[in-house]
Amino acid sequence: IIFGAQNCSPIEDEIRLVEVMRRLGLMIMQLTYNNQSLLACGCYEEEDSGLTRFGKQVIAEMNRVGMVIDMSHSAERSTLEAVDCSAQPVIISHANPSHFHPALRNKSNKVLDAIAANEGLLGFSLYPFHLKDGPQCSLDNFADMVAWTADRMGVNRIGFGSDLCQSQPQSVLEWMRTGRWSKVMDYGEGSSQDAGWPESLAWFGDNRDFPRIVDALKTKGFSDEELGLIMGGNWVDLLTRVAQPVAESAEIDAEI
């Protein structure tokens, strides 16, 4: 089990809390969750203001303590600036190429290229709103997307981040979309006419269906070794390289 935060709320507005949270076991942190944060801009904002001054300092601190920077829910300028600012690889843990489907959460070729050059990682999303044709996306089309991305980024720079909340009620979806920040419903990638959880993919009901994806990727020419990397090996490699435990600190020890 790996702990990751979907936004930067755990550190509030105190940079010292980056080390505190890493020492408590937080291994991955997103700089934003769709909205503007104290660190960067989310992908649903109309204007992307990029990294803030605080955001640049937090990135340096995350690098220092071995906390992985995740830009899955961030806007393009913020993501590119984070990659440029970070001395460590940056990840997009759950999203897809926007050329495959132009969802706000999906990423442009420019971002994919930056993540690859940074030796980071893209985790493919299985959330239907992020897929071509939504719930009707075929397994063959999905496998084509993976193969295309492997050709562009390199097979060592891709993995899976399914982004599925299985068997969760509507209330969980509503909390994800609005939390405490809004008095009106924000539908995210959905709409008022399509406000619930998306229909499940015919070929992926739960984690027991990952072998179906493996079989589909084999038809696209991936070797067993490459499939081992895509299905988990690349994540292990990245976390080994980036998520190193922080050195002992008497000041932080006293606080936790």
Express each pLDDT in 42-72 by its tens digit.
999 999 999 999 999 999 999 999 999 999 9
- List the one residue out of 143, 145, 164 whose CA is nearest residue 207: 164
Q: Can you name the CATH fold of 3-249?
A: TIM Barrel (3.20.20)
- Residues with Cβ within 8 Å of residue 49, at least 6 apart in sequence: 36, 41, 77, 78
The ranges assigned to domains in the chain are 3-249
CA atoms within 13 A on the CB side of 87: 9
Examine the pLDDT at 252 and tell me if it is beyond 70: no
Q: What is the pLDDT of residue 250?
A: 58
With cut-offs at 50, 70 and 90, classify the pLDDT of residue 245: confident
Examine the pLDDT at 249 and tell me if it is beyond 70: no
What's the rounded Cα separation, in Å, for the pair 90 and 223?
A: 26
The answer to whether 157 and 121 are in contact (CB under 8 A) is yes
Which comes out higher in pLDDT, residue 174 or 13?
13
Q: What is the pLDDT of residue 6?
A: 95
Mean pLDDT score of the chain: 93
Q: What is the pLDDT of residue 255?
A: 65
Examine the pLDDT at 196 and tell me if it is beyond 70: yes
Examine the pLDDT at 195 and tell me if it is beyond 80: no
Express each pLDDT in 113-166 by its tens digit.
999 999 999 999 999 999 999 999 999 999 999 999 999 999 999 999 999 887
- List the one residue out of 245, 255, 230, 12 whose CA is nearest residue 121: 230
Express each pLDDT in 94-111 by its tens digit.
999 999 999 999 999 999
Examine the pLDDT at 171 and tell me if it is beyond 90: no
The answer to whether 92 and 83 are in contact (CB under 8 A) is no
* DSSP string for residues in 118-147: TT-EEEEP--GGGSTTGGG--HHHHHHHHH
Question: What beta strand segments (E) does the chain contain?
Answer: 3-5, 26-30, 68-70, 90-92, 121-124, 158-160
The answer to whether 150 and 158 are in contact (CB under 8 A) is yes
- List the one residue out of 112, 26, 24 whose CA is nearest residue 67: 26
What's the rounded Cα separation, in Å, for the pair 239 and 34?
A: 24
- Residues with Cβ within 8 Å of residue 125, at least 6 apart in sequence: 94, 95, 96, 105, 131, 161, 162, 163
Express each pLDDT in 16-50 by its tens digit.
999 999 999 999 999 999 999 999 999 999 999 99
Which comes out higher in pLDDT, residue 142 or 184?
142
With cut-offs at 50, 70 and 90, classify the pLDDT of residue 167: confident
